[in-house]
Chains A and B, each alone.
Chain A
Amino acid sequence: MTFFFKTIAREFLNYRRKPGLFLNPLIFFGLVVFLFVLGLGPDEAKLNQAASIFILVASLLSVLMSAESAYDQDYDEGSLELVVVSSNSLLIYSLAKSLAHWVVTFLPLILLVPFIGIGLFLDVEQIWVLCLGILLVSPTIILLASVGAAMTISLPRNGVLIGILVLPFYVPPLIFVTGLFEAALLKQNVFPYVYWLIALLFLALGLAPFATSACLRIAAED
Chain B
Amino acid sequence: MLGWFHRLGSPKTFFGMSQSWPKTFGLLSLLLLAFGTVWGLLFAPPDYQQGHSVRIMYVHVPAAAVAQSCYLIMAISSAVFLIWNIKLADWAAKSMAPIGASLAFLVLITGAIWGKPTWGTWWVWDARLTSTLVLLMLYLGIIVLRNALEEKGNDGRPCAVLALVGLVNLPIIKYSVDWWFTLHQPASFTLTEKPKMPPEMWIPLLIMAAGYYFFVFSVWTSRIRNEIISRERKTAWAKAWAGSQ
A→B interface (CB under 8 Å): 147, 150-152, 154-156, 161, 164-165, 167-169, 171-172, 175, 207, 211, 214-215, 218-219, 222
Indicate if the CB atoms of B158 and A152 lie closer than 8 Å: yes
Chain A interface SS verdict (over half): helix
**For residue A219, which residue of chain B has the nearest CB?**
B158
Residues on A with beta carbons closer than 8 Å to the beta carbon of B164: 211
Residues on A with beta carbons closer than 8 Å to the beta carbon of B166: 168-169
With a 10 A CB-CB cut-off, give which of B82, B155, B165 has the most chain A CB atoms. Answer: B165
Q: Which of B133-160 contact A (CB under 8 A)?
A: 134, 137-138, 140-141, 144-145, 148-149, 152, 154-155, 157-158
Known interface pairs A155-B148, A155-B154, A164-B144; 16 further A-B residue pairs with C-beta atoms within 8 A, sorted by A's residue number: A150-B158, A155-B149, A161-B144, A164-B141, A164-B145, A165-B141, A167-B137, A168-B166, A171-B130, A171-B134, A207-B168, A214-B82, A215-B157, A215-B158, A215-B161, A219-B158
Q: Which of B6-32 contact A (CB under 8 A)?
A: none
Indicate if the CB atoms of A211 and B134 lie closer than 8 Å: no
Residues on B with beta carbons closer than 8 Å to the beta carbon of A171: 130, 134
**For residue B130, which residue of chain A has the nearest CB?**
A171
B162 lies within 8 A of chain A by Cβ: yes
For the complex, what is the distance from the CA of A45 to the CA of B158, rounded to whole Å?
Answer: 45
Distance between B192 CB and nearest chain A CB, rounded to angstroms: 28
Distance between B100 CB and nearest chain A CB, rounded to angstroms: 14
**For residue A175, which residue of chain B has the nearest CB?**
B130
Residues on A with beta carbons closer than 8 Å to the beta carbon of B155: 222
**For residue A150, which residue of chain B has the nearest CB?**
B158
Residues on A with beta carbons closer than 8 Å to the beta carbon of B144: 161, 164-165
Distance between A182 CB and nearest chain B CB, rounded to angstroms: 13
Indicate if the CB atoms of B145 and A154 lie closer than 8 Å: no
Indicate if the CB atoms of B145 and A152 lie closer than 8 Å: yes
B→A interface (CB under 8 Å): 82, 130, 134, 137-138, 140-141, 144-145, 148-149, 152, 154-155, 157-158, 161-162, 164-166, 168-169, 172
Indicate if the CB atoms of A164 and B140 lie closer than 8 Å: yes
Indicate if the CB atoms of A161 and B145 lie closer than 8 Å: yes
**For residue B136, which residue of chain A has the nearest CB?**
A168
Residues on A with beta carbons closer than 8 Å to the beta carbon of B154: 154-155, 222
Indicate if the CB atoms of A151 and B145 lie closer than 8 Å: yes
For the complex, what is the distance from the CA of A152 to the CA of B144, rounded to whole Å?
Answer: 11
Indicate if the CB atoms of B137 and A154 lie closer than 8 Å: no
Residues on B with beta carbons closer than 8 Å to the beta carbon of A167: 137
Distance between A216 CB and nearest chain B CB, rounded to angstroms: 10
Residues on B with beta carbons closer than 8 Å to the beta carbon of A168: 134, 137-138, 141, 166, 169
Partner of A152, one of B82, B148, B165: B148
Indicate if the CB atoms of A218 and B148 lie closer than 8 Å: no
Residues on B with beta carbons closer than 8 Å to the beta carbon of A156: 152
**For residue A217, which residue of chain B has the nearest CB?**
B157
Residues on A with beta carbons closer than 8 Å to the beta carbon of B158: 150-152, 215, 218-219
For the complex, what is the distance from the CA of A21 to the CA of B91, rounded to whole Å?
Answer: 37
With a 10 A CB-CB cut-off, give which of B144, B148, B149, B155 has the most chain A CB atoms. Answer: B148
Distance between B19 CB and nearest chain A CB, rounded to angstroms: 34
Partner of B148, one of A161, A172, A175: A161
For the complex, what is the distance from the CA of A168 to the CA of B145, rounded to whole Å?
Answer: 14
For the complex, what is the distance from the CA of A218 to the CA of B148, rounded to whole Å?
Answer: 16
**For residue B149, which residue of chain A has the nearest CB?**
A155
For the complex, what is the distance from the CA of A218 to the CA of B144, rounded to whole Å?
Answer: 18
Distance between A134 CB and nearest chain B CB, rounded to angstroms: 22
Residues on A with beta carbons closer than 8 Å to the beta carbon of B161: 151, 211, 214-215, 218
Distance between A211 CB and nearest chain B CB, rounded to angstroms: 5
Distance between A143 CB and nearest chain B CB, rounded to angstroms: 11
Distance between A91 CB and nearest chain B CB, rounded to angstroms: 15
Residues on B with beta carbons closer than 8 Å to the beta carbon of A150: 158
What 10 pairs across the A-B complex have the smallest Cβ distances?
Answer: A168-B137, A151-B158, A218-B157, A165-B141, A168-B134, A155-B148, A211-B165, A164-B141, A168-B138, A164-B144
Residues on A with beta carbons closer than 8 Å to the beta carbon of B149: 155
For the complex, what is the distance from the CA of A150 to the CA of B157, rounded to whole Å?
Answer: 12
CB-defined A-B contacts under 8 Å, sample of 8? A151-B145, A168-B137, A168-B169, A175-B130, A207-B165, A211-B161, A218-B158, A222-B154
